[in-house]
Amino acid sequence: MRTQSTIDELPLVEVIREHGGGDGDNVRFETARGDVHARYHPVAGGQGRGAVVWLPDASGLDPRYAELSEQLRAEGIESLRLDYRSPGRVRECLRDALVGARWLCRERELERLVLVGTGYGAAVALSAASRVDAVTAVAALDPGPEQDEAPPPGNWSLLLMPDLEPADGEDPTAWLAARTRGPITKLELPDSDQAKDQALHAWLSEAFAD
- Predicted confidence (pLDDT) at residue 6 exceeds the cutoff of 70: no
pLDDT computed for residue 200 by the predictor: 93
- Average pLDDT of the residues in 42-71: 89
The residue type of 108 is R
Domains of the chain with bracketed CATH: 38-207 (3.40.50.1820)
User: Is the pLDDT score of 149 beyond 70?
Assistant: no
As a whole number, the mean pLDDT across the chain is 86
What is the structure's pLDDT at 1?
A: 38
**Residue 22 pLDDT level (bands cut at 50, 70, 90):** confident
Name the strand (E) or helix (H) holding 157. Answer: strand 157-161
How high is the pLDDT of residue 151?
A: 67
37 burial (CB, 10 Å; 0-12 / 13-18 / 19+) is: middle
Q: What tens digit of pLDDT does each residue of 58-99 get?
A: 888 888 899 999 999 999 999 999 999 999 888 899 999 999
User: Are the C-beta atoms of 140 and 176 separated by less than 8 Å?
Assistant: yes
Sheet of strand 12-18, all strands in order from the earlier edge strand to the far edge: 12-18, 25-31, 34-41, 77-82, 50-55, 113-118, 135-141, 157-161, 184-186
What pLDDT shows up at residue 110? 86
- At residue 2, the pLDDT reads 42
Q: Which comes out higher in pLDDT, residue 189 or 129?
A: 129
Question: Residue 102: pLDDT above 70?
Answer: yes
Residues linked to residue 15 through DSSP beta bridges, in sequence order? 29
Residue (of 175, 171, 177) closest to 159 by Cα position:
177
Q: How confident is the model at residue 100 (pLDDT cuts 50, 70, 90)?
A: very high
- pLDDT for 84: 94
Specify the pTM.
Answer: 0.90
DSSP annotation string for 58-76: TT---THHHHHHHHHHHTT
The region of weakest confidence among 36-40, 117-121, 146-150 is 146-150
